Structure 1
C-alpha cells in the first residue's frame, strides 16, 4: 500500500509538472509575435534584397529577445507587388519590401519616383528620398492604412534588346519594349519613340525568346537573376527609371505593438535598407562583368534627348497626377526634386 501510495504521488507530481510546463509554454508562445515579411523578388541568397531581409529578420529577433519572430516569404509566395501592398493594407501581411510600381495607386505623390530621369544619379535619389520630400510622401501612407518604414534601392533600370545597341534616343524608335503595366512607363516609352508592350513579368522570358517583343527594361540584378542574357544581346546603360523599394507595415497591426517593438522594427528596417543600398552598389558593378561574360554587349548611352523629352513632354502631363489633381502642386514637387543638390 505504501509503495502504491508513493507511485500514485509520483504520477500526480508528474502530471502537475507537465501541466505547468504546458501552461508556461503556451504563455511564452502567446508572447511571441509572428511577422509575415513578403517580397516578390528572387530567392538568390546573394541578392542585395535577400541579404537585407535576412539581416532584418536577424536584428528583429535578436533585439526583441525572441518576442518577435520574422517569417520571410520571398519570390511572390504571398502574391505580386500589388497583392502584397493590399495584404499589408488589410493586415493579412505584416510587412512587405515592395518596389514603387504599385505605390502610386495608394499615394499619388509616390508616382514622383516613377518619372523618367527624375534623379540625376543614386546620390541625388538618396538625398531626395531621405530628405523632407521623401518623408512627406512616407507620412501620406498612414492615411491609407500603411506605415512606411524606410526606402531602399532596386537600382536604375536599363534597356536590353535583340535588334541593336541603344546609343541615342533615335535607336529606340520602333522597338517593341516590354514594360510593367504602369501608365507612366507606357507613356514614357511612347514619348521616346518605342512601342511599349505592357506584359506580366512571368511571361517576359518566353516573349523575348519567341520574339514577341524586341526588348525589355529592368535593373541589372533582375536581368541576371531572370537569365535574360540568354535571350537578349544588347544591354544599354540608359538608367531611364530609378527603381526604389520600401519596407512597409500594416498600420492597424503597427498600432497593436508596444513602443519597444515599434522601435526595434523601425530601427531594424532603416539599417536593413541601408545595408541593401550598400550591397546593391557593389552588386551592380559585379553584374556588369558577369553579364558581359554571359555574352551581352554593353554600351553607354547619350541621354541628352531622352532627358529633354522627359522634362518637356512627360513631366507637364504628370503635374496633376503626382499632385493629386493639383497641377501647380505637382509642378512644385518636381521642381523641388530638380533643385535638391
Structure 2
C-alpha cells in the first residue's frame, strides 16, 4: 500500500508539474507583445522608409529581450494610408508609419504640414516638427484614439508630367495633376493653375500610363520606386509641399502596455525616424542621378510666384480652422512657423 500511495503521489506531482509548465508557457506566450506595423510604401529594403522601419523592429525586439515582436506589413498590405489610420483608431493595427496626406481628416491641425512652401528647407522642417509647435499637434491625436510617437521625412514633393517641364505657374495651366486626399493639397494645386485630381496612390501608375491624369507630385524616392519615369518625361524641382510621415499607434492598445514597453517603443520610434531622415538625404542625391539615367528631364523651378500665390490664396483660407475657430490665432501660428530659425 505504501508503495502504491507513493507511486500515486509521484504521478500526481508529475501531472501537477506538467500542468504548471504548460500554464507558464501559455502565460509567457500571452505576455509577448505582438505589433502589426503597417505602411503603404514600397518593399525596397534600401528605401529610407524601410531602413527606418527595419531599424525600429530591430531596436524594439532587442531592447525588450524578445518580449515585443514586430511584424512589418509594407506596400499597403493592410490598406492605403486612410484605411491604415482607421485601423489604428479601431485597434485592429497596433502601429504604422503613415504620410500626412489623410491626417487632416482626423486632426485638422495636421494640415499645417500640408501648406505649400511652409518650410524653407529640411532643417527648418525638423526644427518646427521637433519643437513646441510640432508637439502641440502631436497631442491632438490622443483625442481621436491615436498615439503620435515621432515625425520622419518623406522629403519635399516635386511635379512630374508627360507634357512639358514646369518652370513657372503658367506651365501648369491645363494640366491634370494627381494629389493625395488632402484638402490643402487639392486647393493648392488648383490655385497654381492645374486641375487637382485626388486619387489613391495604388491607382496612380495606371492612371499615368493610361493618360487619366497628365502628372503627379511626389518625393524623389517614390518617383523612382514606383517607376514613374516609365510614364513621365519631366521632373520639375518645385519642392512645393513638404512630406512628413509619422509613427503612430493605437491609443487603446498603447494603454495596455506597461511603462517599460511604452518607453522602449517610444524611444525606438524617435531613433528610427532620425535614422530614416539621415538615410533620405543620401538617397535623394542618388535618386536624382538614377532618374536622369532613366531618361527623365530634370529642371529647376522659379518659385517666387508660387510662394506668393500660396501666401495670398491658400494660407488665409485655413487661418480659422488652424486656429480652432480663431482666424487671428491661425495666422499667428503660420507666422510663427515661418519665423522659426
Does the TM-score normalized on the shorter chain lie above 0.5?
Answer: yes
Alignment partners' CA distance in 2, 1:261 and 1:202: 34
Secondary structure of the residue aligned to 1:325 is coil
Give the Å deviation of 1:263.
0.7
Partner residue of 1:195?
A: 195
Alignment partners' CA distance in 1, 2:79 and 2:204: 18
Partner residue of 2:3?
A: none
Secondary structure of the residue aligned to 1:127 is helix
Partner residue of 2:320?
A: 320
Give the Å deviation of 1:315.
0.5
Partner residue of 1:50?
A: 50
Is the CA contact 1:186–1:196 (under 8 Å) kept in the aligned structure 2? yes
Secondary structure of the residue aligned to 1:260 is helix
Alignment partners' CA distance in 1, 2:281 and 2:53: 17
Unaligned 5+ residue runs, structure 2?
1-6
- Normalising by structure 2, we get a TM-score of 0.94
1:105-161 Cα offsets, whole Å, 9 max, x none, are 121111000011110010010000001100111111112211110000011110001
1:178-215 Cα offsets, whole Å, 9 max, x none, are 11232211111111111222222222212211222211
Secondary structure of the residue aligned to 1:196 is strand
Secondary structure of the residue aligned to 2:203 is helix
Is the CA contact 2:155–2:244 (under 8 Å) kept in the aligned structure 1? yes
Alignment partners' CA distance in 2, 1:326 and 1:239: 29
Partner residue of 2:172?
A: 172
Partner residue of 1:4?
A: none
Partner residue of 1:108?
A: 108
Call closer, same or farther: CA 1:171–1:318 in 2, change over 3 Å: same
Partner residue of 1:64?
A: 64
Secondary structure of the residue aligned to 2:181 is coil
Is the CA contact 1:48–1:279 (under 8 Å) kept in the aligned structure 2? yes
Alignment partners' CA distance in 2, 1:17 and 1:50: 45
Call closer, same or farther: CA 1:8–1:295 in 2, change over 3 Å: farther
Alignment partners' CA distance in 1, 2:293 and 2:194: 28
Give the Å deviation of 1:20.
4.6
Alignment partners' CA distance in 2, 1:30 and 1:176: 52
Alignment partners' CA distance in 1, 2:89 and 2:102: 13
Give the Å deviation of 1:93.
1.2
Is the CA contact 1:108–1:323 (under 8 Å) kept in the aligned structure 2? no
**Does residue 1:241 correspond to 2:241, yes or no?**
yes
Unaligned 5+ residue runs, structure 1?
1-6
Partner residue of 2:275?
A: 275
Is the CA contact 1:138–1:148 (under 8 Å) kept in the aligned structure 2? yes
Alignment partners' CA distance in 2, 1:174 and 1:94: 43
Call closer, same or farther: CA 1:332–1:16 in 2, change over 3 Å: same
Alignment partners' CA distance in 2, 1:204 and 1:166: 20
Partner residue of 2:292?
A: 292
Alignment partners' CA distance in 2, 1:258 and 1:16: 31
Is the CA contact 1:39–1:96 (under 8 Å) kept in the aligned structure 2? yes
1:90-113 Cα offsets, whole Å, 9 max, x none, are 211111111111111121111000
- Normalising by structure 1, we get a TM-score of 0.94
Matched ranges for 1:8-87 at <5 A: 18-87=18-87
Matched ranges for 1:199-238 at <5 A: 199-238=199-238
Matched ranges for 1:303-314 at <5 A: 303-314=303-314
Matched ranges for 1:123-142 at <5 A: 123-142=123-142
Is the CA contact 2:102–2:180 (under 8 Å) kept in the aligned structure 1? no
Is the CA contact 1:208–1:214 (under 8 Å) kept in the aligned structure 2? yes
